[in-house]
Amino acid sequence: MRPVIAVTSGEPAGIGPELCLRLADYQGEARPVILGDRDLLAERARQLGLDVELCDFCPKSDVHRSSLEIIHLPLAEPSVAGKLEARNGAYVLALLDRALAGCVSGEFAAMATAPVHKGVINEAGVHFTGHTEYLAEKTATPLVVMMLAGDTSRGPLRVALTSTHLPLKDVPAAITPAILEQTLRILHADLRGKYGIAEPRILVAGLNPHAGEGGYLGMEEIEVITPVLEKLRGEGMQLSGPHPADTMFTPPVLARGDAVLAMYHDQGLTALKYATFGQGINVTLGLPIIRTSVDHGTALELAGTGQADPGSLFEAVAEAARMASRKKL
Protein backbone atom coordinates (compact mmCIF):
# COMPACT_ATOMS: atom_id res chain seq x y z
CA MET A 1 0.00 0.00 0.00
CA ARG A 2 1.28 3.43 -0.92
CA PRO A 3 1.55 5.95 1.95
CA VAL A 4 -1.60 8.09 2.08
CA ILE A 5 -0.78 11.80 1.82
CA ALA A 6 -3.52 14.32 2.67
CA VAL A 7 -3.32 17.24 0.24
CA THR A 8 -5.14 20.40 1.30
CA SER A 9 -6.38 22.35 -1.72
CA GLY A 10 -5.74 25.74 -0.09
CA GLU A 11 -7.25 29.08 -1.04
CA PRO A 12 -10.21 28.23 -3.31
CA ALA A 13 -9.78 31.35 -5.46
CA GLY A 14 -6.12 30.59 -6.12
CA ILE A 15 -4.26 27.95 -8.09
CA GLY A 16 -4.41 25.32 -5.33
CA PRO A 17 -7.52 23.48 -6.57
CA GLU A 18 -6.24 23.16 -10.14
CA LEU A 19 -2.80 22.04 -8.97
CA CYS A 20 -4.52 19.35 -6.93
CA LEU A 21 -6.47 18.24 -10.00
CA ARG A 22 -3.15 17.72 -11.79
CA LEU A 23 -2.33 15.04 -9.23
CA ALA A 24 -4.58 12.75 -11.26
CA ASP A 25 -1.47 12.37 -13.45
CA TYR A 26 0.82 11.62 -10.51
CA GLN A 27 2.64 8.31 -10.95
CA GLY A 28 4.82 8.24 -7.85
CA GLU A 29 4.80 6.08 -4.75
CA ALA A 30 2.46 8.30 -2.71
CA ARG A 31 -1.33 7.96 -2.58
CA PRO A 32 -2.57 11.57 -2.63
CA VAL A 33 -6.01 12.33 -1.19
CA ILE A 34 -7.38 15.80 -1.93
CA LEU A 35 -9.21 17.71 0.81
CA GLY A 36 -11.58 20.25 -0.67
CA ASP A 37 -15.03 21.09 -1.95
CA ARG A 38 -16.13 18.50 -4.52
CA ASP A 39 -18.18 20.99 -6.54
CA LEU A 40 -15.29 23.46 -6.63
CA LEU A 41 -12.90 20.79 -7.92
CA ALA A 42 -15.40 19.56 -10.51
CA GLU A 43 -16.14 23.09 -11.72
CA ARG A 44 -12.44 23.99 -11.96
CA ALA A 45 -11.83 20.77 -13.92
CA ARG A 46 -14.59 21.72 -16.40
CA GLN A 47 -13.21 25.24 -16.66
CA LEU A 48 -9.77 23.91 -17.57
CA GLY A 49 -11.02 21.10 -19.80
CA LEU A 50 -9.56 18.41 -17.55
CA ASP A 51 -11.04 14.93 -17.66
CA VAL A 52 -10.57 13.92 -14.03
CA GLU A 53 -12.54 11.22 -12.24
CA LEU A 54 -13.27 12.29 -8.65
CA CYS A 55 -14.02 9.53 -6.17
CA ASP A 56 -14.53 9.41 -2.42
CA PHE A 57 -11.56 8.38 -0.31
CA CYS A 58 -11.82 4.80 0.93
CA PRO A 59 -8.99 4.06 3.39
CA LYS A 60 -8.95 0.31 2.80
CA SER A 61 -9.00 0.42 -1.00
CA ASP A 62 -6.13 1.92 -2.99
CA VAL A 63 -7.92 3.15 -6.13
CA HIS A 64 -6.66 3.05 -9.68
CA ARG A 65 -4.01 5.69 -10.31
CA SER A 66 -6.11 7.47 -12.95
CA SER A 67 -8.70 8.45 -10.34
CA LEU A 68 -8.38 11.30 -7.87
CA GLU A 69 -9.51 10.55 -4.34
CA ILE A 70 -11.11 13.37 -2.38
CA ILE A 71 -12.51 14.12 1.05
CA HIS A 72 -15.33 16.62 0.61
CA LEU A 73 -15.40 19.68 2.85
CA PRO A 74 -17.93 22.32 1.73
CA LEU A 75 -17.19 25.92 0.90
CA ALA A 76 -18.99 28.60 2.87
CA GLU A 77 -19.57 30.59 -0.32
CA PRO A 78 -19.17 29.76 -4.01
CA SER A 79 -15.66 30.56 -5.22
CA VAL A 80 -14.59 32.25 -8.45
CA ALA A 81 -11.04 31.80 -9.69
CA GLY A 82 -9.00 34.90 -8.94
CA LYS A 83 -11.56 36.55 -6.63
CA LEU A 84 -11.03 36.30 -2.89
CA GLU A 85 -13.99 35.75 -0.57
CA ALA A 86 -13.34 36.36 3.14
CA ARG A 87 -16.25 34.13 4.13
CA ASN A 88 -14.24 31.15 2.90
CA GLY A 89 -11.42 31.82 5.36
CA ALA A 90 -12.83 29.32 7.85
CA TYR A 91 -13.08 26.72 5.07
CA VAL A 92 -9.35 27.00 4.37
CA LEU A 93 -8.56 26.38 8.04
CA ALA A 94 -11.02 23.48 8.15
CA LEU A 95 -8.97 21.76 5.45
CA LEU A 96 -5.85 22.08 7.59
CA ASP A 97 -7.65 20.86 10.70
CA ARG A 98 -8.99 17.78 8.91
CA ALA A 99 -5.59 16.90 7.47
CA LEU A 100 -3.91 17.39 10.83
CA ALA A 101 -6.47 15.22 12.62
CA GLY A 102 -5.91 12.45 10.09
CA CYS A 103 -2.14 12.64 10.49
CA VAL A 104 -2.38 12.48 14.27
CA SER A 105 -4.77 9.50 14.17
CA GLY A 106 -2.68 7.60 11.64
CA GLU A 107 -5.30 7.83 8.88
CA PHE A 108 -2.73 9.74 6.80
CA ALA A 109 1.03 9.19 6.70
CA ALA A 110 1.66 12.90 6.11
CA MET A 111 0.12 16.10 4.80
CA ALA A 112 1.07 18.33 1.87
CA THR A 113 -0.47 21.78 1.58
CA ALA A 114 -1.40 23.95 -1.38
CA PRO A 115 -0.98 27.71 -0.85
CA VAL A 116 -3.29 29.83 1.29
CA HIS A 117 -3.87 33.58 1.32
CA LYS A 118 -2.95 34.96 4.74
CA GLY A 119 -4.75 38.26 4.16
CA VAL A 120 -8.18 36.80 3.46
CA ILE A 121 -7.96 34.50 6.51
CA ASN A 122 -7.21 37.52 8.68
CA GLU A 123 -10.09 39.38 7.04
CA ALA A 124 -12.29 36.49 8.16
CA GLY A 125 -11.40 37.39 11.76
CA VAL A 126 -8.71 34.77 12.42
CA HIS A 127 -5.18 35.87 13.28
CA PHE A 128 -3.06 33.80 10.89
CA THR A 129 0.62 34.28 10.05
CA GLY A 130 1.19 31.05 8.13
CA HIS A 131 0.88 27.28 7.98
CA THR A 132 4.03 26.85 10.06
CA GLU A 133 2.81 28.84 13.03
CA TYR A 134 -0.75 27.51 12.78
CA LEU A 135 0.28 23.86 12.86
CA ALA A 136 2.69 24.52 15.73
CA GLU A 137 -0.13 26.04 17.79
CA LYS A 138 -2.57 23.26 16.93
CA THR A 139 -0.09 20.54 17.96
CA ALA A 140 1.11 22.43 21.05
CA THR A 141 4.64 22.35 19.66
CA PRO A 142 6.75 25.01 21.41
CA LEU A 143 9.04 25.62 18.44
CA VAL A 144 9.00 24.49 14.82
CA VAL A 145 11.47 25.23 12.05
CA MET A 146 10.57 26.30 8.53
CA MET A 147 12.81 24.76 5.88
CA LEU A 148 12.64 25.03 2.11
CA ALA A 149 14.35 22.49 -0.09
CA GLY A 150 14.87 21.73 -3.74
CA ASP A 151 17.14 19.99 -6.19
CA THR A 152 19.78 21.93 -8.11
CA SER A 153 22.31 20.90 -10.73
CA ARG A 154 24.83 20.53 -7.89
CA GLY A 155 22.57 18.48 -5.64
CA PRO A 156 19.90 19.13 -3.01
CA LEU A 157 19.70 22.55 -1.36
CA ARG A 158 18.02 22.82 2.04
CA VAL A 159 17.58 26.17 3.80
CA ALA A 160 16.08 26.43 7.29
CA LEU A 161 15.15 29.65 9.08
CA THR A 162 15.82 30.82 12.61
CA SER A 163 13.02 33.41 12.34
CA THR A 164 10.15 33.32 9.87
CA HIS A 165 7.41 35.87 9.19
CA LEU A 166 8.71 38.87 11.12
CA PRO A 167 9.31 42.49 10.14
CA LEU A 168 13.03 42.95 9.57
CA LYS A 169 13.29 45.40 12.46
CA ASP A 170 12.16 42.67 14.89
CA VAL A 171 14.60 39.99 13.75
CA PRO A 172 17.67 40.74 15.94
CA ALA A 173 15.67 40.59 19.17
CA ALA A 174 14.04 37.34 18.07
CA ILE A 175 17.37 35.55 17.64
CA THR A 176 18.18 34.66 21.22
CA PRO A 177 20.68 32.01 22.31
CA ALA A 178 17.82 29.76 23.43
CA ILE A 179 15.91 30.04 20.15
CA LEU A 180 19.02 29.51 18.05
CA GLU A 181 20.02 26.45 20.07
CA GLN A 182 16.55 24.91 19.89
CA THR A 183 16.35 25.60 16.16
CA LEU A 184 19.68 23.89 15.52
CA ARG A 185 18.66 20.90 17.63
CA ILE A 186 15.40 20.50 15.69
CA LEU A 187 17.15 20.89 12.34
CA HIS A 188 19.84 18.38 13.30
CA ALA A 189 17.32 15.84 14.61
CA ASP A 190 15.05 16.00 11.56
CA LEU A 191 17.93 15.85 9.08
CA ARG A 192 18.75 12.56 10.76
CA GLY A 193 15.23 11.23 11.32
CA LYS A 194 13.34 12.54 8.27
CA TYR A 195 16.15 12.75 5.73
CA GLY A 196 18.29 9.82 6.83
CA ILE A 197 21.53 11.84 7.14
CA ALA A 198 23.51 10.13 9.89
CA GLU A 199 25.87 13.03 10.66
CA PRO A 200 24.34 16.26 9.31
CA ARG A 201 26.65 19.12 8.37
CA ILE A 202 24.94 22.47 8.95
CA LEU A 203 26.16 25.81 7.57
CA VAL A 204 25.06 28.69 9.82
CA ALA A 205 24.71 32.23 8.51
CA GLY A 206 25.61 35.36 10.36
CA LEU A 207 22.97 38.02 10.91
CA ASN A 208 24.90 41.10 9.80
CA PRO A 209 26.75 41.97 6.58
CA HIS A 210 30.09 40.14 6.45
CA ALA A 211 28.96 38.21 9.54
CA GLY A 212 29.52 41.32 11.62
CA GLU A 213 33.05 42.10 10.40
CA GLY A 214 34.53 41.22 13.79
CA GLY A 215 32.03 43.40 15.61
CA TYR A 216 32.31 46.49 13.43
CA LEU A 217 29.00 45.75 11.71
CA GLY A 218 27.14 44.24 14.64
CA MET A 219 27.73 42.14 17.72
CA GLU A 220 25.15 39.35 17.29
CA GLU A 221 27.71 36.96 15.77
CA ILE A 222 30.06 37.41 18.74
CA GLU A 223 27.49 37.60 21.53
CA VAL A 224 24.80 35.15 20.35
CA ILE A 225 25.62 32.97 17.37
CA THR A 226 29.22 31.85 17.98
CA PRO A 227 28.68 30.83 21.64
CA VAL A 228 25.74 28.62 20.66
CA LEU A 229 27.73 27.01 17.85
CA GLU A 230 30.64 26.31 20.16
CA LYS A 231 28.35 24.72 22.74
CA LEU A 232 26.71 22.38 20.24
CA ARG A 233 30.00 21.55 18.55
CA GLY A 234 31.10 20.38 21.96
CA GLU A 235 28.24 17.87 21.85
CA GLY A 236 29.43 16.52 18.50
CA MET A 237 27.29 18.48 16.02
CA GLN A 238 29.00 19.41 12.75
CA LEU A 239 28.32 23.13 12.53
CA SER A 240 30.25 25.75 10.57
CA GLY A 241 29.94 29.50 10.70
CA PRO A 242 28.75 32.07 11.23
CA HIS A 243 29.21 32.56 7.50
CA PRO A 244 28.69 35.85 5.64
CA ALA A 245 25.36 35.33 3.90
CA ASP A 246 26.52 36.90 0.63
CA THR A 247 29.09 34.14 0.06
CA MET A 248 27.47 31.23 1.92
CA PHE A 249 25.38 30.26 -1.10
CA THR A 250 28.35 29.92 -3.44
CA PRO A 251 29.00 26.35 -4.65
CA PRO A 252 32.30 25.81 -2.76
CA VAL A 253 30.67 26.67 0.58
CA LEU A 254 27.43 24.79 -0.06
CA ALA A 255 29.42 21.68 -0.95
CA ARG A 256 30.57 21.51 2.68
CA GLY A 257 27.07 21.21 4.16
CA ASP A 258 23.84 19.21 4.05
CA ALA A 259 21.69 22.19 5.04
CA VAL A 260 21.89 25.91 5.66
CA LEU A 261 20.47 27.76 8.65
CA ALA A 262 19.63 31.37 7.79
CA MET A 263 18.81 33.97 10.41
CA TYR A 264 15.75 35.48 8.71
CA HIS A 265 13.27 34.84 5.92
CA ASP A 266 14.64 36.65 2.89
CA GLN A 267 18.28 36.03 3.80
CA GLY A 268 17.84 32.35 3.09
CA LEU A 269 14.87 32.04 0.80
CA THR A 270 15.94 34.51 -1.88
CA ALA A 271 18.82 32.23 -2.85
CA LEU A 272 16.78 29.05 -2.44
CA LYS A 273 13.92 30.25 -4.62
CA TYR A 274 16.27 31.61 -7.26
CA ALA A 275 17.80 28.16 -7.58
CA THR A 276 14.69 25.97 -7.28
CA PHE A 277 11.50 28.01 -7.77
CA GLY A 278 8.64 25.96 -9.15
CA GLN A 279 10.24 22.70 -8.05
CA GLY A 280 11.17 23.49 -4.44
CA ILE A 281 9.12 22.63 -1.38
CA ASN A 282 8.51 23.83 2.16
CA VAL A 283 8.93 21.44 5.09
CA THR A 284 7.91 22.11 8.70
CA LEU A 285 10.46 20.54 11.03
CA GLY A 286 9.85 19.75 14.68
CA LEU A 287 6.17 18.81 14.38
CA PRO A 288 4.91 15.44 15.63
CA ILE A 289 3.60 14.87 12.09
CA ILE A 290 5.11 15.21 8.60
CA ARG A 291 4.08 18.31 6.69
CA THR A 292 5.34 19.54 3.33
CA SER A 293 4.11 22.35 1.10
CA VAL A 294 4.67 24.17 -2.17
CA ASP A 295 7.23 26.96 -2.33
CA HIS A 296 4.90 29.53 -3.93
CA GLY A 297 1.78 31.53 -3.23
CA THR A 298 -1.81 31.49 -4.42
CA ALA A 299 -1.03 33.21 -7.76
CA LEU A 300 -4.53 34.64 -8.11
CA GLU A 301 -3.66 36.08 -11.52
CA LEU A 302 -3.06 32.54 -12.86
CA ALA A 303 -6.06 30.89 -11.24
CA GLY A 304 -8.37 29.31 -13.78
CA THR A 305 -5.96 29.78 -16.70
CA GLY A 306 -4.35 26.35 -16.64
CA GLN A 307 -0.89 27.95 -16.71
CA ALA A 308 0.12 27.12 -13.12
CA ASP A 309 3.03 24.68 -12.84
CA PRO A 310 2.22 21.70 -10.58
CA GLY A 311 5.88 20.72 -10.16
CA SER A 312 6.25 21.99 -6.61
CA LEU A 313 3.09 20.23 -5.41
CA PHE A 314 4.17 16.98 -7.06
CA GLU A 315 7.51 17.20 -5.27
CA ALA A 316 5.85 18.10 -1.95
CA VAL A 317 3.70 14.97 -2.17
CA ALA A 318 6.66 12.80 -3.18
CA GLU A 319 8.90 14.13 -0.39
CA ALA A 320 6.14 13.63 2.19
CA ALA A 321 5.93 9.99 1.09
CA ARG A 322 9.71 9.57 1.25
CA MET A 323 9.83 11.00 4.76
CA ALA A 324 6.94 8.78 5.84
CA SER A 325 8.81 5.74 4.53
CA ARG A 326 11.99 6.70 6.39
CA LYS A 327 9.96 7.13 9.57
CA LYS A 328 8.91 3.48 9.37
CA LEU A 329 12.52 2.27 9.23
**φ and ψ at 267, to 5 degrees?**
-60, -40
Residue among 112, 160, 154 nearest 265 (CA): 160
Count of domains forming the chain: 2
| Chain mean position to CA 62 | 26
Q: Answer for the pair 260, 161: CB distance below 8 angstroms, yes or no.
A: no
The pLDDT value given to residue 121: 95
Is 37 a residue whose pLDDT tops 60?
A: yes
103 vs 326, more confident: 103
pTM of the entire structure? 0.90
Q: Are residues 154 and 260 in the same domain?
A: yes
The pLDDT value given to residue 218: 96
Is 64 a residue whose pLDDT tops 60?
A: no
DSSP class of residue 255 equals T
Residue among 31, 189, 48 nearest 110 (CA): 31
Is 45 a residue whose pLDDT tops 90?
A: yes
The pLDDT value given to residue 323: 93
Q: Are residues 73 and 179 in the same domain?
A: no
Q: What is the mean pLDDT of residues 36-53?
A: 96
Q: Are residues 262 and 300 in the same domain?
A: no
Q: What is the mean pLDDT of residues 112-137?
A: 93
The pLDDT value given to residue 66: 64
Q: Are residues 274 and 198 in the same domain?
A: yes
* Pairing of the two strands 201-205 and 238-243: parallel
Q: Are residues 2 and 108 in the same domain?
A: yes
Q: Are residues 59 and 84 in the same domain?
A: yes
**Cα–Cα distance list, 107 to 68, 96, 127 (Å):** 17, 14, 28
Is 235 a residue whose pLDDT tops 80?
A: yes
Q: Are residues 299 and 260 in the same domain?
A: no
Q: Are residues 18 and 122 in the same domain?
A: yes
Beta strands in the chain (DSSP E): 4-8, 31-36, 53-56, 67-72, 110-113, 145-152, 155-161, 201-205, 238-243, 259-262, 281-285, 291-294
Is 62 a residue whose pLDDT tops 70?
A: no
DSSP 3-state assignment of 91?
helix
Q: Answer for the pair 196, 298: CB distance below 8 angstroms, yes or no.
A: no
Which range of residues forms the domain containing residue 116? 1-141+288-329
Residue among 325, 290, 295 nearest 310 (CA): 295
| Chain mean position to CA 257 | 21
Q: Distance between CA 66 and CA 46 in Å, rounded?
A: 17
To the nearest whole number, what is the mean pLDDT of the chain? 94
Q: Answer for the pair 310, 22: CB distance below 8 angstroms, yes or no.
A: yes
Q: Distance between CA 6 and CA 109 in Å, rounded?
A: 8
pLDDT tens-digit series, residues 162-204: 998 899 999 999 999 999 999 999 999 999 999 999 999 999 9
Q: Are residues 254 and 313 in the same domain?
A: no
pLDDT bucket at 43, cuts 50 / 70 / 90: very high
Q: Are residues 92 and 51 in the same domain?
A: yes
Which CATH number characterizes residue 129's domain? Answer: 3.40.718.10
Q: Are residues 132 and 203 in the same domain?
A: no
Cβ-based neighbour number of residue 237 at 10 Å: 17
Residue among 101, 30, 26 nearest 71 (CA): 101
Q: What is the mean pLDDT of residues 210-230?
A: 97
Q: What is the mean pLDDT of residues 127-137?
A: 91
Percent of the chain whose pLDDT exceeds 90: 87
pLDDT bucket at 58, cuts 50 / 70 / 90: confident
Q: Are residues 56 and 43 in the same domain?
A: yes
pLDDT tens-digit series, residues 106-122: 999 999 999 999 999 99
Q: Answer for the pair 31, 62: CB distance below 8 angstroms, yes or no.
A: yes
